[in-house]
Amino acid sequence: DIIRGFHEHRNCEVLTARQMGKTTTAGAYLLWYAMFNPDKTILIAANVLRQALEIMHRIRTTYELCPDHIRAGVIAYNKSSIEFDNGSRIVAQATTPNTGRGMSISLLYVDEMAFAAPGLLEDMWTSLSPTLSTGGKAIITSTPKTDVDMFAKIWKGANDLTDEYGNPNSENGEGRNGYYAVS
């Protein structure tokens, strides 16, 4: 369900308990997306840099375990980014007001969004929204924290399957805010 949500919907939000494999699943999807879709920029934003680098470590490990015949060639390979010979790249950063600023992002992955500092998260979201509004994809995963943080607000909108008049609007399963909810 998680991978289907990532693949079939432009914006996807995943809410699960801890240690359910959401980050590992997302990392595998990001690697596939980069290797098989040329000229894409994928940004991983985590609440702290240590977590973003941990996700990159999982992606690098998965890449190294791929069979040679499907593994894309690599131009640059370090702790915080991987660049492939097809023009795609994966970059990991901590959530700050300037995260992703100046980048043309094809796919944004925000891990543990509910635990990012609220003011920083809103600033980052504001700076990335123009990129996402021009066709970029967004994947958000987290365990819950409160009922009022940004993750919770997006989750509620993703589960609101009505139109502006209150009529059912669930043709594609996306909520009123354009996000598809997976739990």
d(CA 40, CA 103): 11
Where on the phi/psi map is residue 178: left (φ > 0), alpha (ψ -120 to 50), or beta?
A: left
Under a CB-based contact definition with an 8 Å cutoff, are residues 177 and 155 in contact? no
Under a CB-based contact definition with an 8 Å cutoff, are residues 170 and 161 in contact? yes
Annotated catalytic residue 8? no
**Candidates 54, 112, 122, 171; catalytic one:** 112
Residue 13 tokens read as 């939000």
DSSP state letter for 114: G
Under a CB-based contact definition with an 8 Å cutoff, are residues 158 and 181 in contact? yes
Residues annotated catalytic, as ranges: 112
